[in-house]
């Protein structure tokens, strides 16, 4: 076998995405060398040995795939410098090692184990750096089984999680990987706010206080203020309702209205989630703005 030819095997061949004969040839060449006792190592020709070891190191540094022999299928385990994923019968085990890596490194790993995944590296609060956000199905989850995620602790990487998702799910799934937000950059957070008391400020309870009082506390701490009105939205005429929030300018909010929750919008700004007063006007129809998973790459 001409080992020089093996240098042209690509990462996707090793991941089982393309022609696997080359990948098998590389692995066979590496494995055929075997392991020799230390005492006998100096008796072997050195040139060919160095080339094989170099190729093996390159494979390890770029990506590690288990299950290469699955012709036309996905592998069961894949790892690169950003993330490692292991596929089991019931879930995918995901460990993130570099949340600042290019999103294509994450997509490479998910797709290697058979998932149609788009990954966005999104700005988050310091406590959420490295976390996996999702899975999100923008078009709605309509398939057998269930979809969800659970964090795992302890974790030897930056973040570890189990992702439940049908292995044959055909539609696009979006994940976010949290990176440190720049100073003043809005956090990409689409999770709903608890209208009964989410608190952003250490040592201070904002729930039930007036807008004027909470605004004064933020000013004392050197923080800027954003405003979101909480609206109670009636659905289907059956008496049930839900809450939604709307970003508004400060001129829309009265100083004596009640703050329900607070959340950091960015490193220097806190949003006040305010219950709309009686003079706030009629409840508008929900009109959620685009979320981080809707935005173009």
pLDDT at res. 50: 34
99 is written with which tokens? 């949340």
- In DSSP terms, 266 is beta-bridged to 269
Its pTM stands at: 0.67
Question: Longest Cα pair distance anywhere in the chain, in angstroms?
Answer: 91
pLDDT at res. 205: 95
Rounded CA-CA distance 47/292 in Å is: 52
Cβ pair 190, 288 in contact under 8 A: no
Tell me how crowded residue 36 is: count the other CB atoms within 10 A of its CB.
12
Q: Give me the phi and psi of 109, to 5 degrees please.
A: -70, -45
Domain-wise residue ranges, the chain: 3-64, 77-180, 189-297
Q: Is 72 left (phi over 0), alpha (psi -120 to 50) or beta?
A: left
Count Cβ atoms within 10 A of the Cβ of residue 151 and give its class: 0-12 exposed, 13-18 middle, 19 or more buried: exposed
Distances (CA, A) of 188 to 180, 274, 293: 11, 21, 9
Residues 6+ apart with CB under 8 A from 109: 63, 78, 79, 80, 82, 83, 84, 85
pLDDT at res. 204: 96
Distances (CA, A) of 210 to 129, 133, 232, 255, 277: 32, 33, 19, 7, 11
Q: How far apart, in Å, do the first and last CA atoms of the chain sit?
A: 43
Rounded CA-CA distance 128/131 in Å is: 6
Rounded CA-CA distance 82/121 in Å is: 12
Query: What one-character DSSP code corresponds to residue 58?
Result: H
Kindly give the residue spans of alpha helices, DSSP state H, lying in 15-149.
20-32, 46-62, 103-112
pLDDT at res. 245: 84
Distances (CA, A) of 284 to 38, 99, 255: 77, 39, 21
Over residues 2-57, the pLDDT tens digits come to 434 433 344 444 444 444 444 445 445 444 444 444 333 333 333 333 333 333 33
Place of tokens 């001129």: 251
Give the mean pLDDT of 80-100.
89
Distances (CA, A) of 202 to 123, 267, 269: 22, 14, 14
Over residues 265-295, the pLDDT tens digits come to 999 999 999 998 888 888 777 777 778 888 7
Cβ pair 140, 279 in contact under 8 A: no
pLDDT at res. 45: 38
Rounded CA-CA distance 98/219 in Å is: 36
Name the least confident of 54-63, 142-151, 155-164, 179-188. Answer: 54-63
């Amino acid at each position: 076998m001409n080992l020089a030819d093996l240098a042209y095997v690509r990462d996707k061949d090793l991941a089982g995405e393309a022609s696997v004969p080359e990948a098998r040839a590389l692995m066979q060449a590496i494995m055929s060398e075997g392991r020799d006792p230390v005492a006998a190592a100096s008796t072997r020709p050195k040139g060919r040995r160095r080339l094989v070891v170099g190729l093996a190191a390159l494979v390890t540094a770029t990506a590690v795939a288990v299950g290469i022999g699955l012709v036309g299928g996905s592998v069961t385990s894949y790892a690169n410098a950003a993330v490692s994923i292991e596929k089991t019968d019931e879930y995918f085990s995901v460990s993130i090692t570099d949340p600042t890596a290019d999103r294509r490194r994450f997509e490479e790993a998910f797709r290697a184990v058979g998932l149609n995944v788009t990954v966005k590296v999104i700005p988050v609060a310091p406590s959420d750096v490295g976390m996996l956000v999702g899975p999100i199905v923008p078009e709605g989850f309509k398939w057998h089984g269930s979809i969800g995620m659970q964090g795992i602790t302890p974790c030897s990487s930056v973040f570890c999680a189990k992702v439940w998702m049908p292995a044959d799910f055909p539609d696009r799934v979006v994940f976010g990987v949290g990176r440190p937000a720049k100073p003043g950059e809005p956090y990409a957070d689409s999770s709903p706010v608890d209208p009964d008391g989410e608190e952003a400020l250490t040592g201070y309870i904002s729930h039930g206080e007036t807008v004027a009082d909470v605004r004064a506390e933020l000013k004392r701490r050197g923080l800027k203020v954003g405003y979101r009105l909480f609206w109670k939205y009636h659905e289907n005429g059956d008496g049930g309702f839900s809450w939604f929030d709307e970003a508004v300018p400060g001129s829309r909010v009265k100083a004596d209205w009640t703050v329900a929750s607070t959340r950091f919008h960015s490193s220097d700004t806190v949003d006040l989630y305010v219950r709309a007063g009686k003079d706030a006007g009629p409840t508008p129809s929900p009109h959620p703005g685009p979320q981080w998973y809707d935005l173009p790459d």
